Amino acid sequence: MPDFISINKHKIGKGGQQQIQLNIARLPTYTNIDLPVHVYRGNEDGPVLLLTGGLHGDEINGIEVIRRMIVRELIVPEKGSVIAIPLVNIYGFIQNARGVPDGKDINRSFPGIKTGSLAKLLAYTLMNKIIPQIDYGIDFHTGGASRANYPQIRCTLNIEKNRELAKAFAPPVILNSNLIDKSFRKSAYRKGKHILVYETGEAQRFDEFGIQQAIDGTLRMMKHLGMRKSAPEKDYDTELYPKSTWIRAKYAGLFRPRIALGDHINKRQVLGRITDPFGNESFNAVCPHDGRVIGINNTPVVHKGDALVHLAYNKNKED
């Protein structure tokens, strides 16, 4: 751990705490938009952990996770340092939107360009101001477009450190997820930094169960990294799934699910029914594998090909 963490000409020594404002750009009204970065440092050496929320502006669960940890002082490490950015995409948050005002997705804009679009500018700022300071990270996300996620860590399981950190976090579900081009996670990995993605709930909705799972898991991971002495114990088996698939509608109509998030389901089990709006026809949506429901579409009106249920399968249990 360095003696000082330097961000935007601010130096924070061991045992220090500081909120730093990173200037991004102005609104058309010439109102400045600054990115608040919270730095918490322990008195003893240890790793530097990054916590980020709101990379997509309408995904509020991650914002709430970090906010609660700040308020309850759970985020302050005994050893090492935590850099916390509760709300990365302030522009999207203001507009209740996933992306920035031009519609671009920050999480497909990495590593970014200083003179590029607003999304690429935000990505460039993270990659050049924050990522060089850290060792590990957790990026908190939420399902989008009326799709709700069951609490899960997504990581690349054939990367040993990813697997180790995911097991330490110990969510209900760990899902293998390959690194995606131009994503925050892949760009950080190319710099030698390991970032896990946590998913829970849906956009613009608080998911209390998933929020608490995220807080508990973060504390467990901090304990594993030697940053704190205690952390909540889990009362369930973490299930590891190497594969997942979205089960899609074969017909248009109104979808009514017969399963819930987190359910273990069997091959050929009926997931729900699709009916026409006039009471003439109905069709079953059937599960193709044994597995677990880790995502569900909460929009009743569906078109042919729309995603209905996200199924994780080929389960393994992790001690």
Taking the model in full, what pTM does it have? 0.96
192 and 286 in a single domain? The answer is no
148 and 280 in a single domain? The answer is no
Query: H-helix or E-strand containing 224?
Result: helix 208-224
Count how many Cα atoms sit within 13 Å of the Cα of residue 95 in the half-sphere of its side chain.
12
Question: Which residues does 3 contact at the CB level (< 8 Å), separation at least 6?
Answer: 13, 14
Q: pLDDT tens digits, residue range 8-28?
A: 889 999 999 999 999 998 889
Tell the residue number behind the tokens 């003439």, with chain if given. Answer: 280
Residues in the chain where the model's pLDDT stays below 50: 319
Q: What does the DSSP assignment read for 107-169?
A: GGSTT--TTS-HHHHHHHHIIIIIGGG-SEEEEEEEE-TTEEEEEEEEE-TTSHHHHHHHHHH
| Chosen domain end from 191, 206, 236 | 236
- pLDDT for 104 equals 95
Query: Is residue 18 helix, strand or coil?
Result: strand
| Chosen domain end from 236, 263, 278 | 236
94 and 155 in a single domain? The answer is yes
61 and 121 in a single domain? The answer is yes
185 and 312 in a single domain? The answer is no
Question: Which residues does 278 contact at the CB level (< 8 Å), separation at least 6?
Answer: none
272 and 153 in a single domain? The answer is no
C-beta separation of 75 from 65 below 8 A = no
Q: How far apart are CA 6 and CA 39, in angstroms?
A: 10
286 and 137 in a single domain? The answer is no
Q: Which CATH number does the domain housing residue 127 bear?
A: 3.40.630.10
Q: Is the peptide bond before 86 cis (omega within 30 degrees of 0)?
A: no
172 and 267 in a single domain? The answer is no
| Domain span holding position 310 | 243-318
- pLDDT for 1 equals 63
- pLDDT for 319 equals 41
- pLDDT for 39 equals 98
10 and 106 in a single domain? The answer is yes
Q: pLDDT tens digits, residue range 64-82?
A: 999 999 999 999 999 999 9
Q: How far apart are CA 203 and CA 299, in angstroms?
A: 13
24 and 102 in a single domain? The answer is yes
Domain count along the chain: 2
